Structure formats: C-alpha cells, structure tokens
Amino acid sequence: MEIAPEEEFLTARCTLGEPAAFDSLAHIYGARLYGFIRCALPARAQVWENLAVRTLAICLKQLHPFDEKVPLSVLMMKRIVEILDKEAAGTAKDDEASFSTDPRLAWIRKSIYSLPLEDRYYLLLRDQMDFSQEEMAFILGLSEETVKARLTQVRQKFHQTLHALLSARKS
C-alpha cells in the first residue's frame, strides 16, 4: 500500500492543528466513507451521519505523520468497519426496503441486502470503494488469501440470489 504525498502533507498539517487541512481531508474522504456507510446500512445511514468525520478525527489523533505505512483512507475504513461491527451488529434487517433508487436496480439491491452485513463489506469495499485485496485484508483484519476466497464466495452467493430472484420473477 502506498501513501500519496498529498495525503502525507495534509496529515502532517492536521497533526499541527491546521483546521484548513482537516477540512480538506474531511472533504476528500467524508463523502466516500459516508457513501460506504449508506450502502452498508441504508436504513440507519442518518444515525451514522457524523461517523466519517468523527472517524477522521480519531484517526488523526492516533496518527504519527510520516511513520504510517498505510493510507489514511484504509485506516479510516478499518475503523468504520470496526465501529459498524460493534455497534450495528444485528441491526441490518430491512435495509433493502429503506433504500429507494432506480426501480430497475431493485433486484440487484434486493440481492445485496439479502446478504449478511459482513458479506456486504466484501462487495462494497472491492466493487464500490475500489480497495485492493491487500487493503481489504488490512481493513478486515484477515489474510489476503482469506479475503480473496471470501470475496469469491460472496460474489457467488450474490449471483445465486440474483439469479433466483430473477427466475422467480419470470415464473
């Protein structure tokens, strides 16, 4: 994993207490991380509204600039997954019903929200957030091999569910 020079520079400025640097990082990562939260738990996305910014603040307090070997975006996503696992466990029911968008995507959405929350992480981190398997392994606290195997299993489960829903619709 490589840390972008701009991120190192902004992180260093944040640790020196520059509000403009914090605002820049919040702008860069806030919407992206909130998008992940909204897709993982749409029924309660508003409850988690400030989680992305709070997580940035927590990560920056714990960070030592230029000593980190992991990009801030990966550290923040790891922290968000930990918080969601701890505080949202067992609350992921009925998410599909609360997520209203294009009706043509309803079957895909229904397939995604039929998966347990931890399985959604694999699809969202890889296919929506575009994290590498190495980054996902760090975020989820697993080996790369485990992430690769679980991602394959989750994708198969998603495709089977989608196929079953579409087949039932045609009947």
The CATH number corresponding to 5-170 among 1.20.140, 3.40.50, 1.25.40, 3.30.2170 equals 1.20.140
Cβ partners under 8 Å of residue 29, min gap 6: 52, 56, 72, 73, 76
pLDDT given for residue 93 in this prediction: 47
- Identify whether the C-beta of residue 29 lies closer than 8 Å to the C-beta of residue 96: no
User: Distances from the Cα of 163 to the Cαs of 13, 74, 116, 156, in angstroms?
Assistant: 50, 33, 18, 10
CA distance 79 to 130: 17
Q: Where are the domains of the chain?
A: 5-170
Cβ partners under 8 Å of residue 38, min gap 6: 45
How confident is the model over 76-134, as pLDDT tens digits? Answer: 888 888 888 776 655 544 444 444 456 657 777 788 888 888 898 999 899 888 899 99
- Identify whether the C-beta of residue 60 lies closer than 8 Å to the C-beta of residue 15: yes
Whether 66 has a pLDDT exceeding 80, the answer reads no
High-pLDDT (> 70) share of the chain, %: 81
pLDDT given for residue 127 in this prediction: 87
Long-range contacts made by residues 4-10, C-beta under 8 angstroms, separation at least 24? 4/71, 7/71, 7/72, 7/73, 8/65, 8/66
What mean pLDDT value characterizes the chain? 78
pLDDT given for residue 95 in this prediction: 47
pTM to 2 decimals? 0.74
CA distance 24 to 46: 22
pLDDT given for residue 84 in this prediction: 80
Whether 45 has a pLDDT exceeding 50, the answer reads yes
What is the number of H-type helices and E-type strands within the chain?
9, 0
User: Distances from the Cα of 158 to the Cαs of 11, 38, 39, 139, in angstroms?
Assistant: 38, 19, 15, 22
Q: Which residue has the higher pLDDT, 46 or 6?
A: 6
pLDDT given for residue 153 in this prediction: 96
Cβ partners under 8 Å of residue 166, min gap 6: 107
